[in-house]
């Protein structure tokens, strides 16, 4: 192993959105200024233009702006008429909303364990979770990488069950050359500020190529209104703000470049870790994320594994050196207090439970400097050796 001198200490936040804003500030102030002058804040031409841009970007026929990723999921389930007595299959190792939206329409979340390599729903375990009550399959494209969609769609098609992609972390990711958003019957995206395409507040989008579903979703986000004050459905207020659409539309042309920088950073940090004498997972070190075959990973999160019950000490070790890190997600959804009535217990989904104990998200944002990457990698390597 090399023994080059240690790189100088620098602080490394988990995410620094100020740097991105600085590069786009003039344009963002201009377009948001136009929204202020127009005093048109709800839907309107800015939202329509951004919807068209997202449809074109993902390859889906329709894109419907929504108030958040969560509301996008909720609106799809409402539009599909999912409710009490129905089951929706999803991953237990994801952000809460993936199952929360299911519970909010009165349906039951049914979990399928993850593939430990990708952290995404394991298709080999899907079929046995399906029953006559299953009305929707919702794979999550976690951390920026698509779930294994071919076998998922095969099972769904055979059983006649629609597929909703939860691509809230994965705008721009792809599976066998097809982008997230065009891989299922519908897809939910989030523009929460920390997502790869982040707004200045909450925002979301549903994509679909189903004309009837798109029309229902447009009604759902307006209290189920199909013509002024005529309500065919009970919907909600799930609209995307014109201000958010304006900001997001300025950012969209940069999305692929930012994802490219994230991919390069992930690769470089792993290379520097090995060069700094970092140990492999099997010898007490870190396991770096892998891009599965046919996948295009956009690294919304750069999540490593550390075994031996040392994940929390790695987080502390980094934080002492002013390096940001976060645990996504410490409690799998089947073990959440609010889902106790579903009867989930420890041991039900061993890979999800292991991931919840072993994973740590590290800085990977596009604007990381060489000095920050060098210090991060060297610090990770130091931890791995010290843990022997
Ligand atoms: C962020 C996220 C959501 C919810 O999106 P919001 O815009 O925050 O409501 C849903 N699912 C996953 C996997 C997410 O990461």
Ligand 1 test: best mutation among 15, 91, 166, most atoms within 8 Å of CB? 166
| Residue 354: inside a domain | yes
Q: To the nearest 5 percent, what fractions of the chain are helix, strand and coil? A: 45, 15, 40
**Is 239 a domain residue?**
yes
197 & 338 share domain: no
**Pair 225, 121 in one domain:** yes
Residue 184 lies in a domain: yes
Are 236 and 355 contained in the same domain? no
Is the same domain home to 197 and 315? no
- Cα 1 to ligand 1 centre (Å): 41
In a domain, 246, yes or no: yes
Tens digit of each residue's pLDDT (9 = 90 or more) over 214-259: 999 999 999 999 999 999 999 999 999 999 999 999 999 999 999 9
* Domain limit, last residue, from 192, 218, 253: 253
3 within domain boundaries: no
Of residues 306, 331, 310, 318, the one with CA closest to residue 363: 318
Angle subtended at Cα 29 by Cα 23 and Cα 32, rounded to the nearest 5 degrees: 130
My answer on whether 239 and 301 are in the same domain is no
Distance 189 CA to ligand 1 centre (A): 8
Residue 1 pLDDT exceeds 80: no
Q: State the total domains in the chain.
A: 2
Instruction: Write down the pLDDT at residue 5.
Output: 75
Phi and psi at residue 258, to the nearest 5°: -65, -40
Long-range contacts of 259-264 (CB under 8 A, 24+ apart): 259/144, 259/172, 259/196, 259/298, 259/299, 261/366, 261/367, 262/144, 262/196, 262/298, 262/299, 262/300, 262/302, 262/364, 262/365, 262/366, 263/297, 263/298, 263/299
Residues 119, 242: one domain? Answer: yes
Identify whether residues 326 and 350 lie together within a single domain: yes
Q: Residue of the nearest CA to atom 14 in ligand 1?
A: 168
Give the contacts of 194 (CB within 8 A, at least 6 positions apart).
Answer: 15, 17
The answer to whether residue 193 is domain-embedded is yes
With respect to residue 301, please indicate whether it lies within any of the assigned structural domains: yes
The DSSP bridge partners found for residue 136 are 88
Average pLDDT for residues 279-285, to the nearest whole number? 93
Q: Both 76 and 193 in a single domain?
A: yes
The boundaries of the domain holding residue 67 are 18-253
Ligand 1 environment, Cβ below 6 A: 68-70, 94-95, 97-98, 140, 166, 168-169, 190, 192, 202, 204
Decide which of 222, 253, 284 is a domain's last residue. Answer: 253
Query: Are 248 and 266 in a shared domain?
Result: no
Mutate to test the pocket of ligand 1, among 94, 95, 188, 189 (most ligand atoms within 8 A of CB): 95
User: Do 235 and 261 have their domain in common?
Assistant: no
183: CATH: 3.40.640.10
Largest CA distance in the chain: 73
pTM higher than the cut 0.75: yes
Q: Do 242 and 379 belong to one domain?
A: no
Q: Are 128 and 150 in contact (CB under 8 A)?
A: no
Domain termination residue (choose one: 236, 253, 270) = 253
Looking at residue 381, which CATH number applies to its domain? 3.90.1150.10
Residue indicated by tokens 């060098």: 374
The 3-state DSSP class for residue 200 equals coil
- The answer on pLDDT for 3 being more than 60 is no
Q: How far is the CA of 52 from the centre of ligand 1 (A)?
A: 22
> Which residue, among 268, 280, 257, 284, has the nearest Cα to 376 in the 3D structure?
268
Residues 140 and 240 both lie in one domain: yes
CA distances from 206 to 14, 69, 147, 185, 301 (A): 28, 8, 18, 10, 22
pLDDT digits (tens, 9 = 90+) for 118-172: 999 999 999 999 999 999 999 999 999 999 999 999 999 999 999 999 999 999 9
Domain assignment present for 238: yes
């Amino acid at each position: 192993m090399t023994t080059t001198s240690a790189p100088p200490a620098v602080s490394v936040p988990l995410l620094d959105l100020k740097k991105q804003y600085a590069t786009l500030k003039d344009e963002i102030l201009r377009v948001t200024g136009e929204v202020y002058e127009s005093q048109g804040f709800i839907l309107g031409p800015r939202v329509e233009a951004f919807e068209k841009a997202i449809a074109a970007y993902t390859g889906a026929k329709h894109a419907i702006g929504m108030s958040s990723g969560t509301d996008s999921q909720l609106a799809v389930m409402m539009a599909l008429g999912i409710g009490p007595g129905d089951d929706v299959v999803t991953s237990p190792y994801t952000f809460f909303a993936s199952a929360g939206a299911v519970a909010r329409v009165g349906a039951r979340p049914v979990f399928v364990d993850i593939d430990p390599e990708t952290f995404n729903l394991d298709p080999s375990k899907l079929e046995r979770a399906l029953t006559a009550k299953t009305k929707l399959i919702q794979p999550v494209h976690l951390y920026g990488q698509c779930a294994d969609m071919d076998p998922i769609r095969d099972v769904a098609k055979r059983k006649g069950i629609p597929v909703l992609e939860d691509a809230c972390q994965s705008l721009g990711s792809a599976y066998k050359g097809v982008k997230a958003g065009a891989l299922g019957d519908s897809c939910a995206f989030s523009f929460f500020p920390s997502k790869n395409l982040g707004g200045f507040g909450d925002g979301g989008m549903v994509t679909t190529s189903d004309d009837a579903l798109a029309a229902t979703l447009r009604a759902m986000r307006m209290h189920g209104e199909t013509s002024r004050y005529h309500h065919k459905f009970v919907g909600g207020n799930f609209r995307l703000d014109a201000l958010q659409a304006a900001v997001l539309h300025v950012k969209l042309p940069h999305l692929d470049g930012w994802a490219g920088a994230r991919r390069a950073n992930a690769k470089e940090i792993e290379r520097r870790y090995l060069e700094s004498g970092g140990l492999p997972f099997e010898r007490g070190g870190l396991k770096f994320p892998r891009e599965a075959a046919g996948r295009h990973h956009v690294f919304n999160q750069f999540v490593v594994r550390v075994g031996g019950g040392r994940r929390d000490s790695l987080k502390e070790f980094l934080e002492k050196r002013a390096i940001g890190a976060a645990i996504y997600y410490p409690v799998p959804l089947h073990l959440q207090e609010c889902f106790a009535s579903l009867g989930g217990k420890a041991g039900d989904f061993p890979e999800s439970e292991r991931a919840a104990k072993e994973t740590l998200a590290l800085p990977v944002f596009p604007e990381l400097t060489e000095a920050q990457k060098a210090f991060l990698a060297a610090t990770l390597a130091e931890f791995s050796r010290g843990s022997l």
